Amino acid sequence: MTIRLSRTFLAAAKTVLVLGAFVALGACASSRNLDQAFSDLSGNAELKGVLFADRTHDYGDVDITLYEGRLMLTGTMKSDSGRAKLIENAWKADGVKEVIDEVFVGDGTGFGQGVEDSRIDQVLRARLIGDKDVVSGDYKIAVSNAVVYLLGAARSQAELDRAVELARTVAGVEKVVSHVALRGPLVQ
What pLDDT is attached to residue 70? 93
Give the lowest-confidence range in 22-26, 65-69, 158-162.
22-26
What pLDDT is attached to residue 20? 41
Instruction: Give the mean pLDDT of the chain.
Output: 81
The torsion angles phi and psi of 134, rounded to 5 degrees, stand at -130, 135
Distance CA 180, CA 165 (A): 13
Q: Does the pLDDT value for residue 12 go beyond 60?
A: no
Q: Does the pLDDT value for residue 6 go beyond 60?
A: no
Answer with the residue of higher pLDDT: 118 or 8.
118
User: Average pLDDT of 119-137?
Assistant: 96
Q: Does the pLDDT value for residue 31 go beyond 80?
A: no
Distance CA 16, CA 122 (A): 30
Give the lowest-confidence range in 24-33, 79-88, 129-138, 149-158.
24-33
What pLDDT is attached to residue 34? 64
What pLDDT is attached to residue 15? 41
Instruction: Catalogue the long-range contacts made by 181-184 (C-beta closer than 8 Å, 24 or more residues apart).
Output: 181/70, 181/152, 181/153, 181/154, 182/153, 182/154, 182/155, 182/156, 182/157, 183/138, 183/153, 183/154, 183/155, 184/155, 184/156
The torsion angles phi and psi of 181, rounded to 5 degrees, stand at -90, 150
Distance CA 164, CA 162 (A): 5
User: Average pLDDT of 111-133?
Assistant: 96
